[in-house]
Amino acid sequence: MIDNEFDRQVQNLISKGYPEIMGLEAEEFMKQIEPLREKTKFTEDKYEELGRIPFVIVIKSDWMNGERAMQLVERQNKKGFSVLDAEEVQRFKPIEGIELPGGMAYLVIDIDTGKETRNITPNEAIQIISNESRSPLTLEEGVALITHYPDILMKNNGFYLLGSRCGDKRVTALWISENKPKLGWCWAGNPHTWLGSASCSLRAGI
C-alpha cells in the first residue's frame, strides 16, 4: 500500500511536468527521489483511517517555487492559482524551529489539515500544534499536499500554512475560490470558521 502510494506521487509529479521545469530528465528526477521510499517506513496506513494523510513528497522551493507549483495543482478540472506572485511567495520562509531536510525533496509525514482548529486564530493555533508536539506546514508543504491530494481541499474547509512567515502579520492559506484551489493570505490574529491550521508529525529527508 505505502509503496504504491509512493509510486503514485512520483508519477503524479512527472505527469505534471516537474522534471522539465526543474531542468531534469524524468529518469534523473526519479533517481533523486527514490531514496525517500525508505523513509515511508515511518508511516502507517492507519493514518488514513484517522482522516490524516500518511505522507507527501515535497519538492523544495529552491527547485520549484510555490507560486509556479500552485499553477500545476488541479482539482475537479480546475487549475490552482495564487494571489501572491513568485517574488512574494519566496519571501515566506520556514519559521524558527522548522529545519527542512537537505536535498531536492523530502517527505512530510502524518499530515492533519486541522479541522479541530477551525475558527481559532493562527496565533492561537500554532500554540495548540506545538503543545501536541507537531509542526505547522510550510507554504510549499501545503501546496505539495493539494498537488497529491487535491480533493482534501473543500469548499468552506481550507487550512492555514503557519510554518512559513515573511516578517509581517500575514499567514498564507489554501482554500477554494470560484471553484478553484487558491493560495492566499489572512491576518494571523483573525479567526475564520472555514480555515483550520495544517500540521505534520515529522519531516524526513534523504
**Residue range 84-116, pLDDT digits in tens:** 999 999 999 999 999 999 999 999 999 999 999
For the cut 60, the answer to whether the pLDDT of residue 46 exceeds it is no
User: CA-to-CA distance for 201 and 148, rounded, in angstroms?
Assistant: 18
Structure confidence at residue 2 as a pLDDT band (50, 70, 90): low
User: CA-to-CA distance for 180 and 122, rounded, in angstroms?
Assistant: 23
pTM, rounded to two decimals:
0.94
How many C-beta neighbours within 10 Å does residue 181 have? Answer: 24
What does the mean pLDDT of the chain come to?
93
Nearest to 80 by CA among 203, 186, 9, 174: 174
DSSP E strands in 37-111: the ranges are 53-59, 74-75, 78-79, 81-82, 93-94, 105-111
- What percentage of the chain carries pLDDT values higher than 70? 95
Region 186-191: mean pLDDT is: 95
pLDDT in tens, 19-34: 999 999 999 999 999 9
Length of the chain: 206
User: CA-to-CA distance for 204 and 91, rounded, in angstroms?
Assistant: 24
Residues 6+ apart with CB under 8 A from 118: 157, 192, 193, 194, 195, 196
Residues 6+ apart with CB under 8 A from 11: none
